Structure 1
Amino acid sequence: MATKIDVPGVALITGAASGIGRATAIAFAQAGCTKFALLDLNEGGLQETKGLVEQSVSATDISVGTYKCDVSSPESVVSAYTAAKEHFTRVDYSVHCAGIIVFGGPSADFPVEDFDRQNSINYRGLWLCCREAIKIMRSQPFDCEAYPDANISSVRAQRGAIVNISSGLALYAQPNCPAYCGAKAGVLALTRCDALDYVADRIRVNAILPGIIDSPMTNPSPEIRAWLESNPVQHTPMKRFGKPEEIADVAVFLAGNKASLVTGASWAVDGGLLAGYN
């Protein structure tokens, strides 16, 4: 179970229909969060996640809103974030999990359309989400004012926190996925820039670098899962897949006030892969 969160505020999660996004929504609920804006293009998956969030805790004051959102579309992102703000009045935590991966070969053979599609979601789409989250957060009161019963000290108070899901492939390479590696590296640079630009607004921005996670995006077929198990997983010191819940628990910590001195950071959650990659 995730660490308890100090402020039971509003958690907005993109890519919430499955995998890390779904696990993150459930982790926030188990940590004590009570209001959720769940975003994804997959409306059926969103409804499943909504049900799982509501079932994961015994609290009766859980409020879950679902919003169809194509993160590659500026209009769709603005619409979803605006609707969430209008419904919940604020956004305390924004966790950006939407992503895809296409193994299209090395750069000389990589189709331009696949490059553009990955960047439109993994980098540009994430930037669009950060942009809207920051617009909302910088105009809202500190959480110590919005939630006085949480007894947040003025030193640890924040207007909001953003967690971007990057990848270990932002820092080391894997063959045949130049667009994915490049986009995830861009997420780290964006995270650092936004952390600096909005630190005076008391908005913290951090990134997580997952390793090889047992999720629908990573394992779209039994054949790919078997290849991963036999190859990159064996380079991981722990020699196992990570679970979406293991990423989600770190996201909850980084978003909450217990991580109040952490901003512009990139946390590897990868079973030691970056420490011992070979």
Structure 2
Amino acid sequence: MGDQAFPWEPGTYLHFNDFRERPFFDLTARIGAATPARVVDLGCGPGNLTATLARRWPAAHLVGLDSSTEMIAAARETHGSHGPGGPGLHFGVADIADWVPGVDPFGTAPDRTAPDVVVSNAALQWVPGHRDLMTGWLAALHPGAWLGVQVPGNFTAPSHVIMRELAAGARWCKQLDGVLRHDDAVGEPAEYHELFLAAGARVEVWETTYLHLLQGSDPVLDWVRGTGLRPVLAALGPAEGEKFEKEYAALAAQAYPLGPHGTIFPFRRIFMVGEKQ
């Protein structure tokens, strides 16, 4: 997605699947489309959540796109990828930054009509310039079409600040210069609210901070290992990556102390759901 150039591990990502699923369902529950003909999931990952959309809208032609070949391979292995045309799931490798409503990069859609529903859950934070992309998508969608987006709003949380500060320190700065996203990777809720309104959409924007109770000796490290730490591990390689992880884990344990029932890990997320008018 965007300028990504690092591998994903679907198994690691799915380790906290229960926690990662909740925002998706909170997002899609606000999409009011009854019987959409075409649905696109941008940044579909291993496809487990995309499959729930296929069950919700069984008559829809549903495409899941992700820039990770590993994620799409896992999606196809678990959920299949039906033949061209007609309803069902269709998974493919594509960069969100290159996607255009109404243009099917795989030739699976029966025509070039723009989708009725577009979903992007926890993906656009990886895409530089995603606000401009969203504006273009809304302009291309037909009246009555829906766009639902969720992005993490935790870039100023200790989990991310520690990572950035460690990467910028003397020990790692040469190897990790420019690797991590900054705290302006996503906008604030009011900014997205104005973006939808300016594009002629009726919109609902909200934020939720989930308090995840994590278990294990280094639970915050385990969490970021599946997402935010991926660029660091790719840049450093196994041996150096293990050293970085050890330093990060010690700092994270101070910021997120173990309690009597586990480690409380607050995670803020920003939601927006709009219907084109």
How far is the alpha carbon of 1:28 from its aligned partner?
2.6
Report the equivalent of 1:14: 42
How far is the alpha carbon of 1:165 from its aligned partner?
1.2
User: Which amino acid in 1 is paired with 2:151?
Assistant: I
Contact 2:61 2:89 in 1 (8 A): yes
1:229/1:177 Cα in 2 relative to 1: closer, same or farther (>3 Å)? closer
Report the equivalent of 2:196: 195
TM-score normalised by length of structure 1: 0.50
1:81/1:69 Cα in 2 relative to 1: closer, same or farther (>3 Å)? farther
How far is the alpha carbon of 1:134 from its aligned partner?
0.9
The structure whose Rg is larger is 2
Q: Which has the higher strand share?
A: 2
1:83/1:162 Cα in 2 relative to 1: closer, same or farther (>3 Å)? same
User: Which amino acid in 2 is paired with 1:130?
Assistant: M
2:111 matches 1:90 = no
Report the equivalent of 1:28: 53
Contact 2:67 2:96 in 1 (8 A): yes
Contact 2:102 2:114 in 1 (8 A): no
Unaligned runs of 5+ residues in structure 2 are 1-20, 166-180, 211-219, 234-241
Contact 1:40 1:98 in 2 (8 A): no
Q: Deviations over 1:61-111 (max 9, x none)?
A: 42324242163xxxx334x862269826232123153367xxxxxxxxxxx
What is the distance in 1 between the residues matched to 2:195 and 2:256?
A: 32
Q: Deviations over 1:198-230 (max 9, x none)?
A: 3x444x364766767567213546737855863
Q: Which has the higher helix share?
A: 1
Contact 2:162 2:252 in 1 (8 A): no
Q: Deviations over 1:119-141 (max 9, x none)?
A: xx4441x224313421332xx24
Query: In structure 2, the residue corresponding to 1:183 is in which secondary structure?
Result: coil
Identity %: 11
Aligned residues: CA RMSD: 4.8
Report the equivalent of 2:135: 131
2:243 matches 1:216 = no
Contact 2:75 2:91 in 1 (8 A): no
Unaligned runs of 5+ residues in structure 1 are 101-120, 143-158, 264-278
1:46/1:85 Cα in 2 relative to 1: closer, same or farther (>3 Å)? closer
Contact 2:121 2:150 in 1 (8 A): yes
